[in-house]
Each structure stands twice: as structure tokens, then as C-alpha cells.
Structure 1
Amino acid sequence: MLLQHRRIQKEVRDYRDRLEELIAERTAQLADEIEVRKQAHEAVKAERERLRHALDLQETERRLIAYEIHDGLAQQLAGASMQIQALRAMVGNASSETSRAFDTVQRLLEDSLREARGLINGLRPPSLDEYGVEAAIEELISRKGLGQEVQIEFQCELGCGRMAAALENAVFRIVQEGINNARRHSRSDWIRVALSARNGCVRIEIQDRGIGFDPSTVNEGRFGLQGIRERARLFGGQAVVESGPGKGARILVTLPVTPASGG
């Protein structure tokens, strides 16, 4: 009986020792897995920050080029247009041929100035920095020629004040690319853009009622959609594309709200 009791005690000790070894091994494995996941998370975070920094640099370059065009070429064209008008007034009753020449030069200067301003707005709309993303999108939609080709409805219910500059820029670029994508591919005569803020996120919806497409077949074809998804991912958000042949398209983007820094 005593021998049997000792044997049972030994088996219990052996089982306990083995169990402790297994627990120690599993604990070490879990620690390794946690470390690997932590390193992977840090690597993804670092890559995301690197790409966001690259976007910031790109936007800075866009802003500088826009300012250079505004302060250089656009001002020179505006000045030349004023000089032509003054010269025409000095000439007085000019011949019809001279008047036509003045008209031609004036029209060319005005067209060039309009194109220069279009370049400025395309690179970096001044209203984005001065008044925020809502004003910049309104300006984008009301730009001459855009509203004549397609009806664009814009609803904005952000109600969260100014956001961080990088986030406002991301929202603007996503809307800009979404509108461009719909105009190029959807054949729709109507586009709806809606912005709202809820649960700490800004929500962007871009919808058309065009020919539609299969979202699974355009990952490598429509760079605009790729850009929208990538921007959303870089800001910790997500982009969902809903469409089907003959069903129009709907792009829904959610981004965590980052308030503007005080100052």
C-alpha cells in the first residue's frame, strides 16, 4: 500500500513537472509570437508614417508650385491683359482689323489666365487652406465646365470645425478623385457627394447612377479607386466600393477625425 502511494505521488510530481514544462514552453512561444506581431505592427506603422510623410511632401510641393504660378505666370497674364485694355483705349477709333487683333490677343490672354487659375486650383485650391475642405469642394464643383457636364449634388454635415490639415487634404483628394473617376467612367449625368461626421469619424460618400462595374475586376485598372483606398488606409480608415453592371457605383470612405491643432 505504501509503495502504491509513493508511486502515485511520483506520477503526480512527474505530471506536474511536465505540465509546468509545457506551460513554460507555451508561454515562451506566446512571448515570441507577441514580439513578432509587435514588430510587424511597428513595421506597418512606420511604413504608413513614411507614406504619409511622402504625401505631405507632395502636397507641399503642389502648394509651392501653385503659389509660383499665382505669383508669377498668373500675375503676368493679368498685367498683360490690363496693358492690352489700356493700349486699346489709347488707340481710340482703330480700324476693324486692329480691333480684331486686339480682341484676339485679349481672348488669348484671358484663356491663358483661366487655364493658369485652373492649374492653381488643381494643384492646391487656396480655399482649402483658408476656409477648409467644405469650401474647397464647393469651389471644385462650381468650377466652370464641371457643373455643365454633369449635375453634382453636395451635402456637408461635418459640424466638427476645422480638422487637421493633412486630414482635410485627404478628404478633398478623395472627393476630387471620386468625382473624376465617375466623370471618366460612369457615363452618369448625376453625381452625389456627401460628407458627415459621426462616432469620431468623417464619412465620405460618392455616388453615381451610371453604367456600373464589377469592383473585383478593376483593382489594377482604375488607379483612382486604388488611390482612394490607399489614402483611406494611410489615415487608419477604410474605403468600400459598391457597384455592379448597370447599377451605378457608390464609394464609402470612413476616416478617423483628427482635430486641427490649436493656435
Structure 2
Amino acid sequence: MKLPEVSSQKRENYAKFYMIFISVLGCAAVVNAFFHLEPTPKITILLLLTAFLAITEYYPIPLLRGSTSITFPFIFVMYELFGISYSIIIYAGIALAINILHQRPLRIILFNPAQLAVSLFLAEYILSHTNVVQVQSSTSNFISGFSTYILFLTLFFIINNLIVDIVLLIRPQPYTFYLFKTKTLTELGNVVISLLYGAMIFYLGNRKIDEFSLFFFFSPLVAVSLLYSVISTLRNEKKRLNALFEITTRVNKKIHSTEWIETFKNTFSQIVDVQAIMMWVKENDVWKILYYDGRVIPKDELTGEALARFDGKKEPIVYQDRVKKLGPIDEFFKKDMKAFVYSPMVVEDETIGMLVVAKSRSRSFEDDEIHSIATLANQLAIAVNSRILIEEKEKRIVLEERNRIARGIHDGVAQTLAGAVMKLETAERKFDRHPDETRKLIRESMDKLRLSLREVRESIYELRPYPTERVGLSTAIEKRIEIVKDEYDIKFSFDIRGQEVPLSPMVEKELFDIFQESLQNTIKHAQATKIEVLLSYQKEHIILKIKDNGVGFSLFQAMVKAQNNPHFGILNMNDAAEKINATLQIDTKEGLGTDITLTVPKMGLEGGSTIDQAYAGG
């Protein structure tokens, strides 16, 4: 029988109750410790150990794939010199202060010190009720003391990690085996280092313990903690910047296809871990969802007061606690989402979009995460704006092409048909009286009608889907080569290199036009017997190369001729290359053939679908 699934909200509530329970136990342990405090004359040593403990707790050491605070050696020495009460109160107090400095949620501020206090209390209680064999010799003293240290450390490690594992399992956020393994291995590294220091403590145990000996004994551990903390901070910042660079680069390359959504989703988690995300764009004064994922409740569009609160925003807005203050679009998120960041996507002082992310815990967004989200939103704004501009350019080109065809029909076919109709009407009037003139008029009208029929067919051909739209660029090139091979005695080789990617219709059209223009020029003028065609999909560019073994030509003379003849092929190819921001290079000499290379930047050309296709979300 399948057990009913516990809702996310219930699991969040169970986690809260458990954390409150541990917090109460921790407070009880601290209060109990206060009642058992005894005055100590070694106040300087106590302050020194407290300072070292605070430094190592505030600056954890990166270990394996996590970070941990090497604090147990200080706690054990404090326990040996001053008793468990001082250890519990000082350790819990330091943890409380550090959590407050980090501005963590209240339940975390109370839970973290409490778990440490409970772990210390239970470990010492079990230790005090355990019979450890005492052997009376110099060697047995080391074994006896170190055994006590190992047992205390083991108990503290197991209890502390068990308390944390329980809350991680209860809460709705997934606690995978990988996370458990990483955390456990990191803590085991902590145990190993603590054991090494424990062995040195008891090896040097017969010496006098004072402020100076403790300072020089523990200062290496404190120094390592400070040094590795700085290194870890720099490494994490580098990792975050690399992830930010990777996601912006990939998104810019794939912004025109639905693939960019998956790219964004897979790499965003490297920057910041969130449970819900929405991306909005503004089109024609209407806010629409471009992408969403996680615990969200998507709707069609943004209107009313929420719309007004989106418009004009230029800086990130942070809502750390949903209970205390509502955000503009709280109704779009599940109720268990508590903290939000609204990061505007701004281009040239105009807000064109909004990136909204949410977490299930209050006050869980840190400053570096907010800065990273804002930086990513700005990069996304540039990518989305580029896509909008390219779409407008494509629409303008299509409109110009339609107007050109319309003008051609009006100035050509329509005028020819009108003339033919007028002549037929004249022929009708002269049919009885002037039969010869009538036949002449009918013949002229038939010629005009045949011309009109040819022009209509040409217009219909132009209105049909372009070859690249029907079969794609590479297949269209192959079919064109097959047609030319049937008509002319020319050998062809066609090579495709790299992984083919879908391109926008305009880019494929211009590439095919340039290929056809080059092919036509070669057939007409080059007297070539062999033509090599290369279509190469490289990392940053797409290269189309047409090489022949013909007679070649003088490029200078060709450019002079192009100025006087606007229909010359080179000008057509240059115009087509400019439309897609490509570089056209022609290498030729008389008698040495011609090599035409078109280099198209890959960024901004991938796609084949409009941005509207992404509105379905994640």
C-alpha cells in the first residue's frame, strides 16, 4: 500500500517544530550550565581559548567539497581545564553571535547554538557514565587520556550530525545521498584533524599549561583557519564568476531557440540555489512569462497594481520574509516560498524584463547571491533585447520583400493585364469592320497575357517557402548541387564539418543566396571543371566556402565594374553578408581560380523559432 505523500508545507512545519524542540533543549542545557558555573582564577587562559574558538568557528576551513570548523580541540581543553559548563555556555554564545552577524533567520539563529549545546551536554553525560580503563604508567596515562578524547569526539560528532541530518530529512528541500555523503566526509575530515591535535595535546600533556604555551600550540590551527578561509572565499567567488560567465555565454548563443531555457536552468543553480524562478519580459506594454520553474503558479500576464510595481524598477528589490511584507507577484508562487529577489532586466535605462527568484526559508538570500542575480539579470536583458532587435529586423526584411513583390505585381503584371484588356476591348469594337486589325490586337494581347502569365508564375515562385525553409540549409545546398551537376559537366565536392545547428530562417536564406550567386558566377564566367563547397559549424562561427579551379579574375576590375553595374554578383553577395553581420572574403587571381569565404558569427544566429515559443515555460 502506497503511503500518502506529505505536503511540502507540512514538512516545513514539522521541520520548524523539530528545530523549536532542539532550541528549547539547547536553552535548557545552557541554563543548566549557568547553575553549575564555578569561579576560575585562570581567566586569561579562558579568554584566549574563547578568542581562538571564535576565530575558528567564524572562519571555517574548506575540506574536500565542503567546509568545517576545527573547534573540538579548543572545546576539549576548555572542558579539561574549566569543566563542561564553561564549554557549553561559551561555544553556544559564540555560535549565537556568529549567526546574528550573518543575519540568518531567527529559527537558525536559535537552532545552531542549541544543537551544539545539546551535542556537548549529551556527549559529556554519556562520557561521564562510561567506565574507561585507567592504567598507572606514563604510557597508560597517554592511552587513557587520548581514549577519553577519542570517545568524547566520537560522541559529539555522531550526536551533532544526527541532529542536523534529521532536520535536513524532514524539511521539504531534497536531501540527497550525495549531499549526505559530502557532508559526512567533510565532518570526518574534521575528526581526523581533531584527532591529530588531540594526540599532540596528550603527548605534550606533562608540560606546564599557560597562556604562552596554549598560544603557540594553537596558533598554527588558527592561522590555517584564517588563511584557508580567505582562499575559500576567493575560490568561491572565482567559481561564481565562472558560472556567471558560462551561463551568460551559453544563453547568448542559444537565446533564439528553446534550448536556451534548459541551458539557463542547468547552470543557474551553480550561481545560487533557489526553489522557484520566474522570468518576465515586457512586450507592447504587456508583461508576459518568458520562463518559469519550481514552485510557481503561472498565469497568463501581469496586470493592475502588480504591473505598476514592475514598471520603472531599476534596482533589485529583496523581500526576506513573505509574512512581514508581500511582493508584487506573491500570488504567482506557492505559499511555502518565503524569501524573494526581484531583479529588473534593464537596457538603456528601460526595464524590459524582471527576474524573480524565491527560497523556502526566510532571510536566506545573502548579499553575494543578490549581486550575482542582479548581474545575471543585466546580462539576460542584453540577450533578450538583442533577440527583440533581430526579430524586428527579420520582420522588416519580410515586409520589404512583400512590398517589393507587391510593387512588381502592380507595376508589371497588373499593367500588362490592363493593357491586354484594353486591346481586347478595342478588338471587340473593330471585329466586324476591321478584321485584320482585330487579329493584330488579339495577337498583341495574347503576347502580353503570356508575359503576364510568366510574371505571375515568377511571383508565385517567390512567394513559395524558400528552399532552406522546406529542407534546411545543407539539404538545400545538396539539392542545388545535384541540379547543376545534371546540367553542366562540373565535378562537385560538398563537405559538412562540425555539429549542425538550427539557424534562423533569415540567416539560412542569405547563406543560400550567397551560395547560389557564387555558383552562378562560377558557371557563367569561371570555366571551372571542379567546385569544392565547405559548410563548417565551428565554436564561434559558421563558415561557407566555395572554391573553384577556374580562370579567376581581377578583383579590382570587378569592383570597378560593380560600381557601374548594380546587378553585378559581388554587390549582391556583399549586401546579403551585411544583413547577417557576416564577413565576405574573395581570394582570386587571373588563371588561379577563385576562393569565396563567408564567415558568420554564431552568436545571435541560432534558432529557427521565435521568442514566443518559450512562453510555455519550464
1:176 aligns to what?
A: 513
The answer on 1:92 being equivalent to 2:301 is no
The equivalences for 1:208-223 within 5 A come to: 209=548, 210=550, 211=552
The answer on 1:18 being equivalent to 2:227 is yes
1:77 aligns to what?
A: 416
Deviation at 1:247, TM superposition (A): 3.6
Deviation at 1:174, TM superposition (A): 2.2
Cα offsets for 1:58-87 (capped at 9, x unmatched): 213322442454367523322423543564
The equivalences for 1:19-38 within 5 A come to: 19-28=228-237, 30-31=239-240, 34-35=243-244, 37=248, 38=376
Check whether the contact 1:170–1:231 (CA below 8 A) recurs between aligned residues: yes
Corresponding letter in the other structure for 1:24 = T
Cα offsets for 1:8-43 (capped at 9, x unmatched): 421221232122023224433553565575444652
Corresponding letter in the other structure for 2:222 = R
Distance 1:232 1:243, change over 3 A: same
Alpha-carbon separation, structure 1, partners of 2:534 and 2:421: 41
Distance 1:132 1:112, change over 3 A: same
Alpha-carbon separation, structure 2, partners of 1:193 and 1:130: 21
Alpha-carbon separation, structure 1, partners of 2:235 and 2:586: 44
The equivalences for 1:37-116 within 5 A come to: 37=248, 38=376, 39-40=378-379, 42-44=381-383, 46-67=385-406, 69-70=408-409, 73-84=412-423, 87=426, 90=431, 91-94=434-437
Structure with greater Cα Rg: 2
Distance 1:188 1:40, change over 3 A: farther
Deviation at 1:7, TM superposition (A): 1.4
Alpha-carbon separation, structure 2, partners of 1:170 and 1:194: 18
Corresponding letter in the other structure for 1:180 = E
Alpha-carbon separation, structure 2, partners of 1:226 and 1:183: 17
Check whether the contact 1:70–1:120 (CA below 8 A) recurs between aligned residues: yes
SS at match of 1:207: strand
Distance 1:43 1:249, change over 3 A: same
Deviation at 1:126, TM superposition (A): 1.3
SS at match of 1:57: helix
SS at match of 2:415: helix
1:249 aligns to what?
A: 595
Alpha-carbon separation, structure 1, partners of 2:384 and 2:225: 42
Alpha-carbon separation, structure 1, partners of 2:423 and 2:534: 45
Normalising by structure 2, what TM-score?
A: 0.26
Alpha-carbon separation, structure 1, partners of 2:229 and 2:237: 12
SS at match of 1:16: helix
Corresponding letter in the other structure for 1:9 = F
Distance 1:105 1:249, change over 3 A: farther
Normalising by structure 1, what TM-score?
A: 0.51
SS at match of 1:62: helix
SS at match of 1:172: helix
Question: For 2:464, which of 127, 133, 140 is the aligned residue?
Answer: 127
Check whether the contact 1:152–1:193 (CA below 8 A) recurs between aligned residues: no
- Runs of 5+ consecutive residues of structure 2 not aligned to the other structure: 1-206, 249-375, 495-501, 560-569, 614-618
Deviation at 1:51, TM superposition (A): 1.9
Alpha-carbon separation, structure 2, partners of 1:171 and 1:12: 63
Distance 1:79 1:187, change over 3 A: same
Check whether the contact 2:505–2:608 (CA below 8 A) recurs between aligned residues: no
Corresponding letter in the other structure for 2:526 = S
Check whether the contact 2:468–2:509 (CA below 8 A) recurs between aligned residues: no
Corresponding letter in the other structure for 1:16 = S
Corresponding letter in the other structure for 1:188 = A
Alpha-carbon separation, structure 1, partners of 2:532 and 2:419: 39
Alpha-carbon separation, structure 2, partners of 1:173 and 1:205: 11
Alpha-carbon separation, structure 1, partners of 2:444 and 2:417: 15
Alpha-carbon separation, structure 2, partners of 1:119 and 1:66: 10
Deviation at 1:208, TM superposition (A): 5.1
Distance 1:208 1:102, change over 3 A: farther
Check whether the contact 1:81–1:110 (CA below 8 A) recurs between aligned residues: yes
Greater displacement, 37-46 / 252-261: 252-261
Alpha-carbon separation, structure 1, partners of 2:213 and 2:553: 79
Corresponding letter in the other structure for 1:11 = P
Deviation at 1:125, TM superposition (A): 1.0
SS at match of 1:249: strand
Cα offsets for 1:170-193 (capped at 9, x unmatched): 423322233335656994246979
Distance 1:243 1:52, change over 3 A: farther
The answer on 1:188 being equivalent to 2:397 is no
Deviation at 1:93, TM superposition (A): 1.7
Corresponding letter in the other structure for 1:249 = D
Distance 1:43 1:226, change over 3 A: farther
Distance 1:168 1:81, change over 3 A: farther
State, as a whole percentage, how many aligned pairs show the same letter.
5
Equivalenced residue count is 221
Distance 1:67 1:241, change over 3 A: same
| Greater length-normalized contact order (CA 8 Å, ≥ 6 residues apart) | 1
Distance 1:127 1:226, change over 3 A: closer
Alpha-carbon separation, structure 2, partners of 1:40 and 1:68: 42
Alpha-carbon separation, structure 2, partners of 1:32 and 1:131: 39
Check whether the contact 1:182–1:188 (CA below 8 A) recurs between aligned residues: no
Deviation at 1:55, TM superposition (A): 1.7
1:160 aligns to what?
A: none
RMSD: 5.8
Distance 1:11 1:40, change over 3 A: same
